[in-house]
Structure 1
C-alpha cells in the first residue's frame, strides 16, 4: 500500500467522505434541540464553519493540509477561547459528531480509533469549569 493510501483520510474515502461527514455534523447541530448551546456559538450561516472543519479534518486525517495552507496553524484551543466550552458544550458537539460518524463512516477499527481521538480533542477544547 502506498503511504498516501495508508492515511485515515484515504482509508475513509477522502474528500467525498469527509465532506459528507462534516455536512451531516452541521445539519445535526443546526436541527437538534439538544445541540442548542453549541449551535449558538456559530454564525447563522454555517457554510464557513463547515468549510473550515472540512479543511481541518482533511489535514488532521492525513490528507492535504488545507486548513494550514489557508489559515496557518490551527491553534484550536486558542481559536475557541472566546467561546464558553464546558462539559455541556463539549457533550453537545460530540453528540452531533457521534451521530454523523454513525451515519457516514462504516464500523471499523479505524473508526473506533478516530472516535477516541475526536473525544480527546473535544475534551481538550473545554476552557471553562462546569457550572455548579
Structure 2
C-alpha cells in the first residue's frame, strides 16, 4: 500500500504491512519459547536469561524488514556470520532453529504472500549461519 506524504509517494515497508513491532515481538517471543526447551539450541546461548538474545533478534528483524534502526544504532552493523562464528552451528542446529521459527511464523497467521517472503528470508539466513559440518 502506498501513502502520500508531503507530495511524495512512499512504499509501505514489510514491517508496516505485517503489523510492525507487535508482530515481530510475537514472532521472536514464540521462537524463544521453543529455544528455551530445546537442549541443543539452548546450549548456544551463554546467558541464563534468554531475554537479551530475544531483544537482539527482535531489533535485528525489525530493522531488516524496514522498522526502526535501533539495532544498528546500539550494536553497529549486524555482521551476522561474524557474530555467530564463536558457536558451532551445524545442520542439526540449523534444522532445530528452523523448526522453532516455523512454529513462530505459523502462529502469526500472515497472508500467504507475506508468510512466504518472511519464510524465504529465514531459511536463507539459517543456511548462511551454518559453519560446522555435521
TM-score by length of 2: 0.89
2:98 equivalent to 1:94 = yes
Is the 1:12–1:105 contact (alpha carbons within 8 Å) kept by the matching residues of 2? no
Matched, 1:66 2:66: no
- Distance in 2, matches of 1:116 and 1:76, equals 17
Corresponding residue for residue 6 of structure 2: none
Q: Pairwise CA RMSD of aligned residues? A: 1.2
Q: How far apart, CA to CA, are the structure 2 residues paired with 1:107 and 1:75? A: 30
Match of 2:42 among 39, 44, 50: 39
Aligned residues, how many?
126
Structure 2 unaligned segments of length 5 or more: list them: 4-9
Q: Secondary structure of 1:106's partner? A: coil
Question: Is structure 2 residue 33 aligned with structure 1 residue 30?
Answer: no
Paired with 1:67 and 1:89, the residues of 2 have a C-alpha distance of 24
Q: Which residue of 1 aligns with 2:18?
A: 12
**Is 1:48 aligned with 2:52?**
yes
1:82 corresponds to 2:86: yes
Query: Is it true that 1:116 corresponds to 2:106 in the alignment?
Result: no
| TM score, norm. by length of structure 1 | 0.90
Larger radius of gyration: 2
After superposing on structure 2, the runs of 4+ consecutive aligned residues of structure 1 that deviate more than 3 Å are none
More helix per residue: 1
